[in-house]
Amino acid sequence: MTPWPCCSQTRPRRVGDATTSRRGSSTRLTTYVVAARLSTDLGVRAARTARDDDDRPMPTLLRPDDVPEIARRQRGVFTRAQAHAAGYTTRQVSYRIASGVWMPLPARGLVSAASRQMFIAPVIATWVHRPGSIVMGPAAAAWHGAPVPPLEHVDIWTDQLGDGIRDRIKPHRVPLASWEVERVGTFGGAPALVVHRDRAWRDALAWLPFDDSLDLSAWLSAHEQFDRDGIERALHEHPGLVGNRQLRRLLDATVNGAFSVAERKGHDSLRAAGITGWLANIQVRDEIGIVGRADIFFDDVQLDVEIDGRAAHERRADEDRARDNRMHASGRTVLRFPARVALYEPDRFVSTVRTTLATLRARR
């Protein structure tokens, strides 16, 4: 008799007990092993299938127009959720973003890298993600056509306390009159709202980093949109508004007609070189009307010296070419410098201006 491990008593032995016990244990063990193998085989097959699906090669050439259909109704903008709803897998979406075919935007938006409306895509993404939003600040300025730096976030108006920054959308609880808001379309089933031009210019100048604000002020002044008088009017109409201190700083910085860091440097270089006879930021006309404002203008030889700001982009270049053509047609000479030349190559800037002046004055 084999003693029980838990006590000194012996276990009663039944006839055939050992045989029955061994056979039952063997049968159960065999069943467990078969079941375990079957389960393992099924798991391996499932894992292999999933792995094979994940290992399917992505296309080596992705078309720029390979976007969800809904993007065509949203000026090229769409969200991850809309991409998934259109049949794109999570891996396909991630691959397109990583390869640079799709560009991420504020408000969880996406857009094709080939989009021609990249500069306003963040604004549309905001309306899609947060329908009915009133866009303001630099984003509103971009919507109205101003060359602002790439939008890292989108400013919107809110009347709710504690409405914080989420998804790169920055709410502002500031005074805003109903007449300062305009409807420009419909996105997400709600009106697409944006502040009107003058309020957009004012807020962008007040909220951008100062150097970017100077560049924007140069563009606005050159296009007769929002000059020093506009800044002074905004200060009078909105006393105590956030950003007024920067607007006053802008007025001080542009008192001599320089509306960008590069223009200020250009003025300083000409003065240091003893070159005189020029005026800054003056309006130029032809037979049709106003051509624009000249950054630096030598009236005696009708020489227009232009210094492009850092915010210039392709749309600005097209406008500049049209402007320069009108200048040439009216008998004026145009010298155009990128900002980096005025900023970092002042000797080259001065030498070119001096040589051109000498040539033009010799022809008189």
pLDDT digits (tens, 9 = 90+) for 241-275: 999 999 999 999 888 888 878 888 999 999 999 99
Model-level pTM? 0.72
CATH 3.30.1380.20 matches 261-363: no
The Cα angle at residue 327 between residues 325 and 330, in degrees rounded to 5 = 110
Q: DSSP 3-state assignment of 335? A: strand
CA 6 to chain centre: 76
Cβ–Cβ under 8 Å, residues 250 and 214: yes
Residue 57, pLDDT score: 56
Q: Which residues contact 209 (CB under 8 A, 6 or more apart)?
A: none
In the chain, CATH 3.40.960.10 sits at 261-363
What integer is the mean pLDDT of 211-231? 88
Q: At residue 16, does pLDDT exceed 50?
A: no
- Is 18 a residue whose pLDDT tops 80? no
Q: In what order do the strands lie in the sheet with 154-157?
A: 169-172, 154-157, 134-136, 190-195, 181-187
pLDDT in tens, 103-114: 999 999 999 999
- For the ranges 87-96, 277-286, 339-348, the lowest mean pLDDT is seen at 277-286
Give percent of the chain with pLDDT exceeding 90.
59
pLDDT tens digits for 177-207?
999 999 999 998 899 999 999 999 999 999 9
pLDDT tens digits along 332-344? 999 999 999 999 9
pLDDT band at 58 (very low <50, low <70, confident <90, very high): low
pLDDT over 80 (residue 322): yes
Res 1: pLDDT: 46
At residue 312, does pLDDT exceed 50? no
Say what the pLDDT of residue 49 is: 47
How far is CA 127 from its chain centroid?
A: 15
Which pLDDT score, from 0 to 100, does residue 364 have?
79
* Res 293: pLDDT: 86
Q: Alpha-carbon distance 56 to 64, whole Å? A: 21
